[in-house]
Chains A and B, each alone.
Chain A
Amino acid sequence: MINRIFSKSLLLFTLLSSGLVLTIFVLLAYLCIDLFTLSDMGNFFSFDWDVEKEKFGIATMLFTTLVVSFLALSLAFVFSFSISCVVFLTKSKVVSYFLEKTILLMSAIPTIIYAFAALFTIVPFISEYKPSSTLSILVASVVLSLLLIPTMSLIFLNIFKILAKKYQTVCMNLGLSKDEFFFKFVIKNSYKHLTQGVMLALSRAIGDTMIALMLAGNAISFPTSVFDSGRTLTSHIALIFAHDYDSMAFKAIFLCAFLLLSSNFLLIFILKSIKVK
């Protein structure tokens, strides 16, 4: 009886929250349609943002978001995969315990702490060697990758452990060493889960605001190198939010929000399709 009530309530809350997210998505889509009736669609998808000249292109911010996210993701993947492998393969319990606890600790640190710490450590360091790149896409990506490492590492480790629990004894009895078991069996059978971990991390990277806002520099010019300053969609929303409600600049942030939510839906869809296979 209690189980039934619990599962029904769970279903109700899931439906409610899904409905809420869907309502927000529909509302944003409606507001965007409204936006396109006020100005040419090309204006919003151009690379030129200049409020004084009534240019509201957000393509630069979209491009910067993708660059920051994928750069952070690439860096984080290398570290997360390496850490997960070391934790799984090491014979030293101290090393695996230390690494696992460090990852857990990292996952509990709020985003703003990473950004704040970087502002007083990485930024002055960079200013010594690359004076024009103190607040840049590279700095934001490096710090953002620190945020993604725990998300990916924990998912990777989880699947490694599940597979080991199920098949390690059998494989060992068949004469495989632990290294062979890991590289020839675990890795080959965890591609889909590894991809899920990457997608979840990507979703987190695209949605992050504080690190990009505090470290990417927020320049509205089109970045031509990772050493340039740039503005992501989330930072753009945060910076433009203070504009007058009736201004086109304020209305353009609905399109930014719609694109962000759409990207999340797309990633969830990819995640689901991976699971179904």
Chain B
Amino acid sequence: MKKLLLALLCSVSFSFGSVESFSGLEGSLNIAGGTAHIKCEKEAIKNIMRKHSKISITIAGGGSGMGIKQVSTGLIDLANSGRKPTPSEIQKGDLKLFRFAVDGIGIVINPKNTISNLTTQQLQDIFSGKISDYKELGLKSAPINLYTRDESSATRKVFWKKALKKSDIAKSARVVSSNAAMKTAIKNDPNAIGILSLGFIDDNVKAISINGIFPSLKNVTNSSYTVSRGLYLLSSGEPKVLAKTFIEYMRSPEGAKIVTKYGFIAVDK
């Protein structure tokens, strides 16, 4: 009897926060918002829906601002946000915050570009438009094509606050609407400089150091690279069963494996 109870206890504890914890659940779950979350959540959703055919989970982008707005009005069940909502947003939407990962935001350039480091001052000058040619950085003369994200993007907000120290962003900067679009733009433009979530950085773009510190997971973990932010799942009020199980899954060891696989740091609080 003891063995049976122990086995039961073990199976319950192992299924908690794993795909098995969705057993017996059915219905749909709609998630939208920040685009940095999408890649790892997509894999989690694939794992869940492969085993549980009665569960339907959809995921869409739109940016953190859009996600916060949609979850507050009840249009979606969970919002993805790459920043902490403001106190007024929390109050208006009765938002509950669930952080499941930490992400860094890196400066990225085209792989053909030879820059490897920029100081905060150089960054501020480049993003404000004071430096508009690579010649001023000691390289061969070529125009600097500046790329940024839309104003409701958490990636932009965190970068502006932590890397640019709230200095101006030039109006001539090109604006793209997602991390994926940013990567494509940088890849196709040899003179580009932009900002990207660490989870999106691969061989198509080149990340560079700020003040000699490279935007790596290790440096984000040990806090030497400070341009980082939490990745949150938000619900309006207490999350319903399916949403709650999804949040638990993303924070579980199984979810953490996925989070780490896609270049983020897994956290459970």
Residues of chain A whose beta carbon lies under 8 Å from any beta carbon of chain B: 49-51, 119-120, 123-124, 127, 131-132, 134-135, 213-214, 217-221, 228-229, 231, 238-245, 249
User: Is B66 engaged at the interface, CB distance under 8 Å to the other chain?
Assistant: yes
B191 touches A243 (CB 8 A): no
Question: How far is it, in angstroms, between the C-alpha of A241 and the C-alpha of B75 when the chains are bound?
Answer: 15
Q: How far is the CB of B89 from chain A (nearest CB, A)?
A: 7
9 example contacts (A-B, Cβ-Cβ < 8 A) are as follows: A49-B171, A120-B188, A127-B191, A217-B174, A219-B172, A220-B171, A229-B172, A242-B64, A249-B151
Instruction: Give residues 168-199 of B contacting A (CB, 8 Å).
Output: 170-177, 181, 184-185, 188-192
Q: How far is the CB of B231 from chain A (nearest CB, A)?
A: 17
B181 touches A214 (CB 8 A): yes
Q: Knowing A242-B63, A243-B152 touch, does A135 contact B177 (C-beta < 8 A)?
A: no
B143 touches A131 (CB 8 A): yes
Question: How far is it, in angstroms, between the C-alpha of A43 and the C-alpha of B189 when the chains are bound?
Answer: 35
Interface residue count for B (Cβ, 8 Å)?
A: 30
- Of all chain B residues, the one with the shortest Cβ separation from A223 is B172
A213 touches B177 (CB 8 A): yes
Contacts of A119 in B (CB 8 A): 184, 188
Q: How far is the CB of B26 from chain A (nearest CB, A)?
A: 31
- Of all chain B residues, the one with the shortest Cβ separation from A116 is B184
Contacts of A131 in B (CB 8 A): 142-143, 145, 189-191
A243 touches B145 (CB 8 A): no
Q: How far is the CB of A245 from chain B (nearest CB, A)?
A: 6
Q: How far is the CB of A97 from chain B (nearest CB, A)?
A: 36
Q: Knowing A119-B188, A127-B189, A134-B145 touch, does A244 contact B65 (C-beta < 8 A)?
A: yes
Residues of chain B whose beta carbon lies under 8 Å from any beta carbon of chain A: 62-66, 69, 89, 142-143, 145, 150-153, 170-177, 181, 184-185, 188-192
Q: How far is the CB of B71 from chain A (nearest CB, A)?
A: 13
Contacts of A120 in B (CB 8 A): 188
Q: How far is the CB of A114 from chain B (nearest CB, A)?
A: 15
What are the 4 A-B residue pairs with the smallest beta carbon separation, nearest first?
Answer: A242-B66, A242-B152, A218-B175, A221-B171
8 Å CB contact of A239 from B64, B142, B175, B184 = B175
B177 touches A127 (CB 8 A): no
Contacts of B185 in A (CB 8 A): 134-135
A239 touches B177 (CB 8 A): yes
Contacts of B69 in A (CB 8 A): 242, 244-245
Contacts of B171 in A (CB 8 A): 49-50, 219-221
The winner among A213, A228, A243 for most chain B CB atoms within 10 A is A243
Q: How far is the CB of A212 from chain B (nearest CB, A)?
A: 12
A243 touches B188 (CB 8 A): no
- Of all chain A residues, the one with the shortest Cβ separation from B68 is A244
A-B contact count (CB 8 A): 80
Q: How far is the CB of A50 from chain B (nearest CB, A)?
A: 8
A239 touches B150 (CB 8 A): yes
Contacts of B172 in A (CB 8 A): 219, 221, 228-229
Question: How far is it, in angstroms, between the C-alpha of A221 and the C-alpha of B172 when the chains are bound?
Answer: 5
B174 touches A218 (CB 8 A): yes
Q: Knowing A51-B151, A127-B190, A131-B142 touch, does A242 contact B62 (C-beta < 8 A)?
A: yes
Contacts of B170 in A (CB 8 A): 221
Question: How far is it, in angstroms, between the C-alpha of A165 and the C-alpha of B216 when the chains are bound?
Answer: 71
A132 touches B143 (CB 8 A): yes
Q: How far is the CB of B130 from chain A (nearest CB, A)?
A: 15
Q: Knowing A132-B145, A242-B65, A244-B65 touch, does A127 contact B188 (C-beta < 8 A)?
A: yes
Contacts of B191 in A (CB 8 A): 127, 131-132, 134
Q: Knowing A123-B189, A134-B189 touch, does A219 contact B174 (C-beta < 8 A)?
A: yes
A229 touches B174 (CB 8 A): yes
Q: A135-B174, A218-B150, A239-B151 are in contact. List 6 more A-B contacts (CB 8 A).
A: A119-B184, A134-B189, A218-B175, A238-B177, A239-B175, A244-B69
Question: How far is it, in angstroms, between the C-alpha of A230 and the C-alpha of B197 when the chains are bound?
Answer: 25
Question: How far is it, in angstroms, between the C-alpha of A238 and the C-alpha of B142 when the chains are bound?
Answer: 31
The winner among B64, B172, B185 for most chain A CB atoms within 10 A is B172
Q: Knowing A120-B188, A134-B189 touch, does A243 contact B89 (C-beta < 8 A)?
A: no
Contacts of A124 in B (CB 8 A): 188
Question: How far is it, in angstroms, between the C-alpha of A73 and the C-alpha of B192 when the chains are bound?
Answer: 30
Question: How far is it, in angstroms, between the C-alpha of A242 and the C-alpha of B143 when the chains are bound?
Answer: 31
- Of all chain A residues, the one with the shortest Cβ separation from B70 is A242
Question: How far is it, in angstroms, between the C-alpha of A210 and the C-alpha of B62 when the chains are bound?
Answer: 14
Contacts of B175 in A (CB 8 A): 217-220, 231, 239
Contacts of A219 in B (CB 8 A): 171-175
Q: How far is the CB of B124 from chain A (nearest CB, A)?
A: 16
8 Å CB contact of A241 from B66, B145, B184 = B66
Contacts of A245 in B (CB 8 A): 69
Question: How far is it, in angstroms, between the C-alpha of A134 and the C-alpha of B192 when the chains are bound?
Answer: 10
Q: How far is the CB of B236 from chain A (nearest CB, A)?
A: 14
B174 touches A242 (CB 8 A): no
